[in-house]
Amino acid sequence: MAASGDIDLAGFGRSGWSPFSKPHFVTGDYRIAQDHLEKSSKGLFQLSVPHNERFRRYSSKARLLGESLVTAVNIDSEAGYRIEMNADPDLIYVQVLLQGSALYQQCTTRVEVRSAQLVLQEARAVTRKDWGGPTQLMAFRLSRRALERLAAQTMGALGARPLDFDTIQVIDLERVPTLWHHILMIYNDLQEPTPFLTGPSADHAEQILLHLLLQSIPNSHSGRQLPVPARSAAPYYVRRVETFIRDHAREQIDIQDMVRAAGVSARSVYLGFRKFRDTTPMAYLKEIRLNLARQALLQAPANKAMPVTGIALDCGYENPSQFSRDYRIRFRETPTETTRRAVRSKAISCDDAAG
């Protein structure tokens, strides 16, 4: 990251590389930029600026990555500008801010965003974005149906549930390093005169991107699947321990309790979990407890008497601070952030607003 907070992209590419050195579309005329954006997005986006004479430049370069449209955008408007995005129920819109800042508003949700952050927004209602000045960003227009198909393939019946990322989420890029580096690879390839990501390679890169988004950004599927899918049929003692953990996760149990439930040695239990579940018994217990806590936090608006500490204790954690650390690592957000998102989701009826 650059010292100013903007992303120093040149450090990731070849010497002297500029992210917009080969723009696909460039204009210094505000009216042409306005017309281009509206027509190229088929009416999805509208551009407006407070002072036409202070508009300097618009450039963009777009390419399909599988079914997803990827666009690198640079807008230089000294007095800022506004983008309005119309509703599209199938659209999941992801932006990575490389330079600049903005205020996003959808229904009554207002979120401030700055450089070195990723924004994921649902497009179920009109969204207004007010930008404070010159900006550089990378945008992904993704299909909700494609993400739901992927979830169904990887999670079975659980993946058939409706996918919901909430209205707007803002994630620091440093919190999702794997996702960020994959996006950066796509970005670098977008600038090449002869891109590598075409045909099957583009499809594969898109699938990885969708997988990482489902895993990295909190959504309605987070924490619903079993902690680790089985590699093959596990022996009876592994299944016994799994059942024991699910039945007693809220209690203060330890490895000795698991060994007694299994009826075999501690070594056999440990090796069984490593071989057939690619985890350890205690890690499995922690995952179950975190999933229980997440479901309780998502239901918190209907049970406001239970604070985060109470939920942590109820789900088997003795140390609330350790719970908060484990929770943030697992779900990429704090327990309080989960509760706030749940409250906003219950309080805002975006579907009615869009109608």
Sign of CA dihedral 332, 114, 40, 208: negative
Alpha-carbon Rg for the chain in angstroms: 23
Question: Residue 232 has what pLDDT?
Answer: 52
Residue 22 reports pLDDT greater than 50: no
Listed ranges 203-217, 266-280, 338-352; the one with the highest mean pLDDT: 203-217
CA distances from 142 to 155, 179, 222 (A): 20, 15, 19
Q: Classify residue 305 as left (phi > 0), alpha (psi -120 to 50) or beta.
A: alpha
Average pLDDT over residues 79-89: 93
More confident residue, 57 or 10: 57
- Give the pairing of strands 101-106 and 91-99: unpaired
- Alpha carbon distance 174, 223 (integer Å): 22
- Alpha carbon distance 308, 218 (integer Å): 18
- Give the pairing of strands 45-48 and 109-114: unpaired
Q: Do domains 9-216 and 236-347 have the same CATH topology?
A: no
Mean pLDDT lowest among 3-17, 80-94, 243-257, 271-285: 3-17
Q: Could you tell me the residue ranges of all domains in the chain? A: 9-216, 236-347
CATH number for region 236-347 = 1.10.10.60
The CATH number of domain 9-216, selected from 1.10.4100.10, 2.60.120.280, 1.10.3720.10, 3.30.390.10: 2.60.120.280
Q: What is the pLDDT of residues 128-171, one digit of tens each?
A: 999 998 999 999 999 988 888 887 777 654 445 677 887 888 99
- Alpha carbon distance 322, 68 (integer Å): 39
Residue 38 reports pLDDT greater than 80: yes
Note the pTM of the prediction, 2 decimals. 0.63
Mean pLDDT lowest among 48-62, 162-176, 239-253, 291-305: 291-305
Question: Residue 222 has what pLDDT?
Answer: 67
Average pLDDT over residues 59-72: 92
Q: How confident is the model at residue 2 (pLDDT cuts 50, 70, 90)?
A: very low
